[in-house]
Structure 1
Amino acid sequence: MKLKLTWLLTLFMAFVMQFSFAQEKTVTGTVTTAADGLPLPGASVIVKGTSRGQQTDFDGKYSIQVNQGDVLVISYVGMKPGEVLIGAASTYNVALEDANTLDEVIVVGYGTTTKDAFTGTATKINAENLEAKTVSNLSQALKGEVAGVNVVTGNGAPGSSATVRIRGFGSVNGNQSPLYVVDGAPYNSDISSINAADIESTTVLKDAAATSIYGSRGANGVILITTKQGKTGTSKITVDFKTSINTLFLPQYDVIESPEEYMEVSWRSLVNKGALLGQADPAAWASANLYGTPEGINNQYNIWDAQGSDLINPSTGKFNPGIARKYTPTKWSDAAFNTSYRQEANVQFSGGNEKTRFATSFGYLDDQGYAIKSRYTRYATRINLEHKAKDWLTIGGNIAFTGSRYVNSSDAENEASSSGNIFALTSTTPTIYDVYLRDADGNRIADPIFGGYQFDYGGEYGRRAWTNTNGIADANYDLVQTDVATVLGNFNVGVDFTDYLKLELRYSGQYNDEDYASRANPFYGGSADVGGTLFKVQDLNINQNFLQLLRFNKSYGAHTVEAFVAHESTENRFKRMGAGAQTAILPNTLDLAQYTTPFGKAYSFTQGWTLDSYFSQLNYNYDGKYYFTASVRRDGSSRFLNDKWGTFGSAGLGWVVTSEDFMANSGVLDYLKVKGSYGVIGDQGTNLQYGWQLYNINDTADGSYSFTQGATLANPDLTWETSKIAQVGFESTWFNDRLDLDVDYYVKNTTNLFFDQSLPGSSGSANIQYNDGKLQNRGLEFSANYRLLRDGDFKLSLGVNGEMFENEITEMPNDYLTGEPKVLDGRLSQGKSLYDWYMREWAGVDPASGAALWNMYYDDVDNNGVFSPGDEKIGSMTIYLDENPNANVRKTVTDTYTDATNKYVGKSAIPKVRGGFRLNTGYKGFDLTAQFSYSIGGYVYDSGYARLMENRNLIGSDNFHTDVRDAWQQPGDITNIPRFSAGYSADTRFSGTSTRFLTKADYLSLNNVNLSYTLPKQAVSDMNLTNVRLFVSGDNLMMLSARDGLNPATLISSTNSGIYMPMTSFSLGAKIEF
């Protein structure tokens, strides 16, 4: 019996095993693209609910063991995932759809949505477009990419940030900058701390429906940055590296390069001065005063083998050709600028399964500027992790560390008058001066301390240009350095109560530590008399953000409702400490303990702010055609005292017209969505303490202390600036998906503007800030992308974007003290923009005398049509007409600058249209892209050019633009350039601020060209790689403007010869995927 039972049990087990093996089988198939049937090598094939899986081979084929009833999940980057239920068949071919053909998912405030459902304006920048550019700071890469986004590259130093403005100028004195949001959390640190190689997508939010959910922080637009995440079913290693040459390539001002020509210009200037002084023989007087007199240049700087009086032929005004140089001065630009190098390398590991996704990266950057000793280095690492711990619980987060150093670049935007500014120095220093100190025979003098040759600081021999300084020496011997350590951490938890109700929690912390040091050497320059100086500042910025959000998302037939309610708290704390010392023990150290004598007074302070917010949003969709969005947010800010809380919100409507039945056979129109929105947004962008009264504690010589009221008088009623924003627009696709065309029109009215009012001395404070006045920005934006060729091996597309906007002060503030309407001379007036020009009007040059002329307006009291005794000169047109609205205003000309009238000149810095365009071409594995920016209309004040046309100083003080060749020389000359007269007192205002230097701001710039080649799949597969792309690129390659050296993109309304001009980079690199 026992043997029989054993035999039966063995038979049963064999049957069960046979049945089990009969259920498991091998299935095969091919994964292809749905659009063209091409195989997809490297596609992920996983048995759902398990970790079993594999990748397709080069031909897109797979083979896998499965059981009947299993589900295969097939995925590929850039494709919509597919699922296959295993039945009796043994072959399952799968065609995946391109994700771009689906309803595009876009990142928006506190979540994601689809292109159809979004009623606002959000522009997603392709990661490939940013990746093509060689930049160390993301803000620099935004130039020309998005309609309505103006990027001003005021400082081209390595690692520097650009100024970004979205849809005009949102305030007069308050905040105008957009809010950056990184992985869902508001970002308050230096944007250069984010490695561009870690960025998956960048989205710009512009209208109220898009930004109002961020409340007071979204008033000037929002830039959303999402970093790279791992993909389910894939495991990938990506390595990219790039090496570049950095140089000053864009055209500079045309200046006098020849020392001989400089002396000719100086001689003619002295001739004119001699004539004005009544000299009997102005030419002889000029020759006698070129060198060695109070009018002339120190003989030490005579670089020729001749006396100064013999250099110029008085009959021709030309340099005598037979005179040789003792030496040729070193060009200041050659000593200040050179070709440098940039090295960048990044590696990323990413992957995931159904439970866990991860991405981790490390990046290194060494960006050397073309200006000597300027440099930016950065080490960056990041890890992103998401894990589905339970079916109902998801946890995740990311943490990033960036360590960076700016050397001699963070102060590069100093004013042109600052002593160490090599950018102004190279263009304005006369070419007769050498960079290095020379003896009486013209030989360079050896430097016994640093080696090489001593630099000429100008003090020993009375050099008139840049006396007692040498910016090139400062760059070599001194140091300006900033070390930055940034830690970012986002941690989030998602709890699914049901399939339609979810709780989201997120904590974000940002820690930013900046250590600034400025060291001047003890041997040469301005600190030599005190034995060297060291000044150090440490800034510590800590920002914390905590979000709790409950989200509901459910469909009811044709109705879909998505809504959330949330609370968010933000706290910022800022600490600064600073101290300085002089007389160095060890001259090359950055340790204050190595200096014997403190200078100034060490200081420190702590400040901060908090923002508490309650908000909600409702999104409604009916039948995939009609969309409605509404949001409301209540913010409480610690910056305000009596009126801390503001309530803001928006509503938006969208209609996908092409989803209607009557559009089923629409022909050329493939997609059309019309949309509109209206919202109210506040801005807390005032100084942290203007609502509170501050007092200064001062020590005195006798050891006692005094308390003084702060410079700004507290205004406890200070409150939010408020913007009401309306928008209408449409998004469309035409001609069988060949043309995308989007257009938006907006009006933004801002009230309760922050204005400053000067106070009388009896108040104990200098000024007070208050709310008043109204400002309007209105504009039209467009974006178009046309795919001319998209089928076959050759592809060609063209994209263009632009904005046309106007800015207007619709109501001036009332005077805080009198309550009367405020009138601001030469800056602002009702009905004009923030960037209209107020100045004296240039009227040309008097042909008889060569004197400069300006327009003088006067009140013709006696109405005789000419300026006569009893008529009133008008100094400021704005103020005079405010006080005398019925004045009989007439115009004449004057050669006295101070008599000319300051007035609105009918011109603005705001262009008629500006934007960018992009050309993309491809042939098989080759791709070529070119990206441009343009601006049409508007005027810029060319202060860099004005400085090169100065006439207020003695000879030897300034270099000149080559336009000085056309200056007036004798009676009857017809020219627009007045006489040069070597600092003659009556002529010193010839280059004063006037419309003479207002220049058309039109420009066309070539920002980037990138040529790449992607190796064939078969060749890559043979190397056990997934993808290999090689590329060469160039950045900042061209600037066409009204004048060489004029770069209207560097400042909003004027130019400056003292800024670090944009750097041109030529790059070679590769991106390899395993």
Structure 2
Amino acid sequence: MRTFQKYVLLMLLMAPLGAFAQQLVSGVVTEASSGLPLPGVNVIVKGTTTGTTTDFDGKYEIEAENGSILQFSYIGFQTIEKPVTGTTMNIVLIEDTQQLDEVVVIGYGTTTKKDATGAVEVLRADELNKGAIVSADQMINGKSTGVRIVNEGGQPDSNPNIRIRGGASLSANNSPLIVIDGIPLSNINPAGQSNPLALINPNDIESFSILKDASSTAIYGSRASNGVIIITTKSGTKGGPKFNFSSNVQVGTLPEKIDVFNSKEYVSFINNTFPDSSSLLGLNGTIYNTDWQEEIYRTSFSVDNNFSARANLFGKIPFRASFGYSGIDGILKESHLDRYSASLNIAPEFFDNHLKVTINAKGVATEKDQPDEGAIGSALELNPTLPVYDPNGGKFNGYYQLSDPQGLVGPSNALALLKQRERNEDADRFLGNIEFNYKMHWLPELRAVLNLGLDYSESTINEYFLEKAVASYSVFDGMEIFNNLISSYDEEQTKKDQTLDAYLSYTKFPEGFITKIDAQAGYSYQNFQSDGVKFPTQISPVNGFREPAEIIEYFNELNLQSFFGRANIDLNDKYLFTASLRVDGSSLFSKNNRWGYFPAFAFAWKLNEEDFLKDLSWVNTLKTRVGWGLTGQQDITGVAGYYPYTALYVDGDPTVSYIFGNTPYTTYRANVFNPELTWEKTKTINFGIDYELLDGLLSGTIDYYNRKTEDLLAEVPQPEGALKNRFVSNVGNTSSEGVELALQLTPVKTGEFTFDISGNIAFNETYVTDLKNITQYSSGGGIGRGTGVNVLQTAVGQRGRSFWLYEQVYDINGNPIEDAFVDQNGDGTISDSDRIFTPVDPKWTYGFGTNLNYKNFDFSANFRGQLGGNIYNANLLNRGYADVVIPRNDVGYIKNALNLWNGNTYNGFAEMPSDRQALSDFYLSDASFLRLDNITLGYKIPHLNKQNMTLRLYTSINNVLVITDYEGLDPENFSGIEQSPYARPRTFTFGVNLDF
């Protein structure tokens, strides 16, 4: 009996302990929206290091005490905590859009916005520009503070000039590094492609991460001096299948024409000013009313169709595929681009979710009709009283053109230039990578990552003229003709860029003062290769006919290899430290100068986690940042080729051949080279503040940076006796500083109505502080005058890109006095020492916009602009004087001019301005502007059927209006010089978007 009593007593004493005994808990984790299982969900016993992840079927097993807390977390879903109440616990996770917005893609990893220590900006798909979007750059224009994007014109694939914080170099590449799904792109486009971002279908883009300061970009080393743009495309889903179809039609119009004389005004001007030339008005007594700009431009019609599918194949493999077609007409006749794109993303997991394999594949085929843009200049010069078509048929396939037996007379028929020349630029391009991400079985905190990427393209260019074409008259008479076509130029190119990244990544969340350790170390290999052949033609020195020239074959290769490491340490979840080092080697430099070392450091302090702010309910986030970093620059292929440090012997120019007997012989000559070339180095310090107040009512960032670049790679004059008068050298230093402010205000956010306003403004200026043995040099800036008449100059103590011009003197009526300038130094003589510097680039850029959602309606409007900067109106110089209508050699034709006629007087110079007058700031204008970039209005029809199908209808206008004092065509001009620009269209878009 006593034995039984002792047994009962022991059981009673052990009963409380039984409540805390370990037990095996299992269950399934599913997604709320679809009910499908979620693999890879982290399951942790809160307060311990015990954890596991769900398998492909969303199942898990974990040992936990009864009453302990299980924490279920997965990126993109709200974290759930549940107490253990039994052996079976099934969990449903809900998508967390706010958490998705926090994820920031950085080099070789990710972080969150609240944990970022550098100047990093994230733009999600719903925050980007809408409407007639042809390429990815148009999605972020004006959206990111300190990022200036200026397209070169209105072509369908116009090349974007992208500058982050103004760029850090002079002659070396100033464009940011672009990384798409882990693949860094080359800065050299395939033949036939002007815009590198036309590679990717805008509908496939999930987000942009823009890395601005050196502490965030230094992990990319030599290619990151000008910032980094990381593009992440949409991936598969672990939930139910989702489909999207979108389609739109775009109508483009010419928003404004350059103001030249129309036919009536021209007749009046000629009769009053040059009556002796009145006989040249019209044709055979008939005065035609030809608007040549109307003849070459058109109302364009474009279409854009896209289909995508996301699914979880077999309930285990996230998958996404898409296909798109864009047929884009330019507003210049014969300008057209067809783009076919396809993408695939698949991410299976193996070995109990320890190995994740991500495959990204993108293919694009572009077929571009590139018109002769010389037609724009001809349209501005052609006599408006002459016809487009020859009433007698003529010898130019029906187009009217003045000519004589020696060749054309006067400007070429602008429409004929477009219609009688074909230039087809076709490119097929593949961008793909496969990433193996293995989480060690014996140490889950350690991952090994291998990323293999390929960017491969094949391009062809074919240019030919119709027989008896205006442009082929005379000089093509000796060419062989096939099917009424005369070949002018052909090119074939293959381009292959390879990437390999291999690194280890360690992430741990210790308990105690150190709350997070995140480190990476690895190796990167990039090889860029282009191989091609050109079949040009040339003018025969014997008879003036165009004939085949020597075939040009080329092979170029650039190799970059790197070692890198980075560590992030969080202390008490308040103090964030980052340190990185990248060691880069470039084949552009000799062995003695090949390697560069680029460290970076950053610190961030979460003030809102401190006790003195923790209780302030209106402060949600307040973080200060400071970062320092060194980045490098080696990309000088555009001005120095691929082998600038060594002698490369090529066949000499025929004009300097040697004569032996009666036979000329060319010699092999060394190209110019510089064995002392070394890395251009940029040091940047950045101070920043991130804030969110009043539960998200107001949020934003403030940044100040100071940047100094040393050993500038610049194309400068060489001493006498050099192989070339200009070549790249390490010549000096620049200094930059800037301030950036971005904010978002959400004054209304209810269930039915949301209204937010976002804006950004940035200040930047860069000065040249040293050029070694020289004080200044010409940096180009041709204005349509003779050789050497350039208006741009690089000089010590001045902004990086500056005009170098005389200050104009005006009469009492405000009219310029020709060749009269201010004597700046008072020595009584006008010379170069009296020319003054005026910057090309603006100091201030800005953008702002608003989004409004009410029930099923949505509305957005976006503005951008600049304050300051200058533009040189070369069109005014070359077409804004009275005598321009009368050619110097008086060969029986007259030309058009800018309409500066007031009925009695021509408000411009009478005769062609001298080359000195061309260097006057009279032709310079303030380039400040405000552009209403796009307006979009949409309406969503939800729940079309039981599968929650939704249909959104929308309309938008792009390039709505520009407010500026500039009297030329468009103040937004990257080069700073306007001559005969391809006008940016105003585009109206009507579209549908179907989700099901």
TM-score (norm 2): 0.83
Paired position in structure 1 for 2:898: 961
- For residues 215-270 of structure 1, the C-alpha deviation after alignment (integer angstroms, 9 at most, x for no partner) is 0001111110111101112211111111111222x22333322x232233334444
For residue 459 of structure 1, report the CA deviation from its aligned partner.
2.2
For 1:762 and 1:628, the matched residues in 2 are separated by 53
Matched, 1:423 2:362: no
Structure 1 distance, partners of 2:701, 2:816, is 54
Evaluate the alpha carbon distance shift between residue 457 and residue 846 of structure 1 in structure 2; reply closer, same or farther with a 3 A threshold: farther
In structure 1, how many angstroms separate the alpha carbons of the residues matched to 2:322 and 2:505? Answer: 31
Find the counterpart in structure 2 of residue 313 from structure 1. Answer: none
1:408 aligns with 2:370: yes
Distance 1:72 1:860 in 2: 84
User: Does structure 1 retain, via aligned residues, the 8 Å contact 2:957–2:986?
Assistant: yes
Matched, 1:747 2:730: no
Letter matched to residue 772 of structure 1: V
Aligned partner of 1:944 in structure 2 is 875
Q: Which residue of 2 aligns with 1:254?
A: 259
1:330 aligns with 2:280: no
1:864 maps to none
Counterpart of 1:663? 613
Equivalent residue number for residue 525 of structure 2? 569
- The match for 2:836 is 904
For residues 858 and 796 of structure 1, the distance between their equivalents in structure 2, rounded to whole angstroms, comes to 54
Deviation at 1:480, TM superposition (A): 1.2
Q: Distance in 2 between matches of 1:564 and 1:491?
A: 19
Counterpart of 1:521 in structure 2 is 466
Shift of 1:715: 1.0
Deviates further, 826-835 or 478-487: 826-835
Q: 1:1026 to 1:41 in 2, by over 3 A?
A: farther
1:1069 maps to 2:968: no
Matching residue of 2:132: 134
Letter of the 2:264 partner, please give it.
Answer: E
Give the 3 Å change call, closer, same or farther, for CA 921–772 of structure 1 in structure 2. Answer: same
Q: CA 1:979–1:397 in 2, change beyond 3 Å: closer, same or farther?
A: closer
**Which residue is equivalent to 1:1035?**
958
Matches of 1:772 and 1:1005, distance apart in 2? 38
1:369-423 Cα distance to aligned partner (Å, 9 max, x none) = 11111100011111111111112222221122111111025x64xxxxxxxx222
The residue aligned with 2:942 is 1016
Does structure 2 retain, via aligned residues, the 8 Å contact 1:269–1:979?
no
Candidates 255, 278, 295, aligned match of 1:291: 278
Q: Structure 1 pair 346/72, CA: closer, same or farther in 2 (3 Å)?
A: farther
- Report the alpha carbon displacement of residue 774 of structure 1 after superposing the two structures with TM: 0.6
Q: Which of 799, 806, 809 is equivalent to 1:840? A: 806
Relative to structure 1, is the Cα distance of residues 86 and 352 closer, same or farther in structure 2, using a 3 angstrom cutoff? Answer: farther
Determine helix, strand or coil for the equivalent of 2:550. strand
Q: Structure 1 residues 231 and 860 mapped into 2: Cα distance closer, same or farther (>3 Å)? A: closer
Native 8 Å contact 1:967 1:979 kept in 2: no
In the alignment, the residues of structure 1 paired with residue 35 and residue 111 of structure 2 have an alpha-carbon distance, to the nearest angstrom, of 26
CA distance 1:684–1:95, change in 2 (3 Å): closer
Structure of greater Rg: 1
Q: CA RMSD in A?
A: 3.5
What pairs with 1:485-500 in structure 2 (closer than 5 Å)? 485-497=428-440, 498-500=443-445
Residue number in structure 2 paired with 1:511: 456
* Separation of aligned partners in 2, 1:427 and 1:991: 22
Residues 334-733 of structure 1 aligned to structure 2 (within 5 Å):
334-352=294-312, 355-391=316-352, 392-408=354-370, 412=373, 421-437=374-390, 444-446=391-393, 454-460=398-404, 467=410, 469-497=412-440, 498-528=443-473, 529-531=477-479, 532-557=486-511, 558-559=513-514, 560-580=516-536, 599-641=548-590, 642-687=592-637, 688-698=642-652, 706-712=666-672, 714-733=673-692
Change beyond 3 A, Cα 1:779–1:847: closer
How has the CA–CA distance of structure 1 residues 1040 and 803 changed in structure 2, closer, same or farther, with 3 Å as cutoff? same
Amino acid at match of 1:436: Y
Report the more deviating stretch, 186-195 or 724-733: 186-195
1: CA distance between counterparts of 2:228 and 2:805? 35
8 Å Cα contact 2:807/2:836 also seen in 1: no
Answer yes or no: is the 8 Å Cα contact 2:500–2:525 preserved in 1: yes
* Whole-Å separation in 1 of the counterparts to 2:333 and 2:925: 31
- CA contact under 8 A between 2:257 and 2:293: conserved in structure 1? no
2:716–2:728 Cα contact (<8 Å) kept: yes
- Is residue 202 of structure 2 the alignment partner of residue 202 of structure 1? no
Amino acid paired to 1:432:
T
The verdict on how the C-alpha distance between 1:852 and 1:748 changes in structure 2, with shifts beyond 3 A counting, is same
Q: Which amino acid aligns with 1:221?
A: G
Distance 1:745 1:160, change over 3 A: same
> Following the alignment from structure 1 to structure 2, what is the Cα–Cα distance between the partners of residues 449 and 914?
49
State the match for 1:416 in structure 2: none
Query: Which deviations, in whole Å up to 9, do the C-alpha atoms of 1:686-741 show, x marking residues without a partner?
Result: 132221112222587877854343452x1111011100011001010122310112
TM-superposition CA deviations, 1:404-450 (whole Å, max 9, x none) = 111025x64xxxxxxxx22223334342232223xxxxxx2337886
Kept in 1, the 8 Å contact 2:808–2:822? The answer is no
Judge conservation of contact 1:550–1:565 (CA < 8 Å) in 2. yes
The SS at the match of 1:718 is: coil
Q: Between 933-942 and 731-740, report the one with greater CA deviation.
A: 933-942
1:161 touches 1:192 (CA, 8 Å); kept in 2? Answer: no
3-state SS of 1:1050 partner:
coil
Counterpart of 1:445 in structure 2: which amino acid?
N
Whether the 8 Å CA contact 1:215–1:635 is kept in 2: the answer is yes
Q: Partner letter of residue 913 of structure 1?
A: W
Which amino acid in structure 2 is aligned with residue 542 of structure 1?
Answer: K
Deviation, 1:563, is 0.6
CA contact (8 A) 2:167 2:174 kept: yes
Distance 1:30 1:1012, change over 3 A: farther
Amino acid at match of 1:402: V
Is contact 2:253–2:985 with CA below 8 Å preserved after alignment?
Answer: yes
Aligned to 2:818: 852
Structure 2 segments unaligned to the other structure (5+ residues) = 1-26, 42-53, 60-65, 190-195, 480-485, 540-544, 779-790, 887-892
Q: Which region of structure 1 is more displaced relative to structure 2, 657-666 or 601-610?
A: 657-666
Match among 859, 863, 867 for residue 928 of structure 1: 859
Aligned partners of 1:823 and 1:373: how far apart in 2? 40
Q: Map of 1:824-835 to 2, 5 A cutoff?
A: 827-835=793-801
| Contact 1:153–1:1062 under 8 Å retained in 2 | no
Query: The residue matched to 2:875 in structure 1 has which SS?
Result: helix
Q: Residue 347 of structure 1: CA displacement?
A: 1.0
Over 3 Å counting, the alpha-carbon distance change for 1:530 and 1:1038 in structure 2 is: farther
- Seen in structure 2, the aligned counterparts of structure 1 residues 746 and 73 have a Cα distance that, compared at 3 Å, is closer
Picking from 773, 779, 789, the partner of 2:738 is 779
Deviation at 1:1021, TM superposition (A): 3.1
Deviations 1:1012-1041 (A, max 9, x none): 111133xx234x343322211111111221
Query: What code does the residue aligned with 2:984 have?
Result: P
Distance 2:101 2:149 in 1: 30
Distance 1:949-1:390 versus aligned 2 partners, 3 A rule: same
Give the partner amino acid of 2:267.
M
1:136 is displaced (CA, Å) by 1.6
CA–CA distance in structure 1, aligned partners of residues 695 and 814 of structure 2: 69
Q: Is the 8 A contact 2:129 2:862 kept in 1?
A: no
Q: Which letter maps to 1:1039?
A: V
Q: Which amino acid is the alignment partner of residue 277 of structure 2? A: L
Shift of 1:106: 0.6
Query: Which stretch shifts more, 833-842 or 701-710?
Result: 701-710
Deviation at 1:810, TM superposition (A): 1.2
In 1, the alpha carbon distance for the partners of 2:771 and 2:364 equals 45
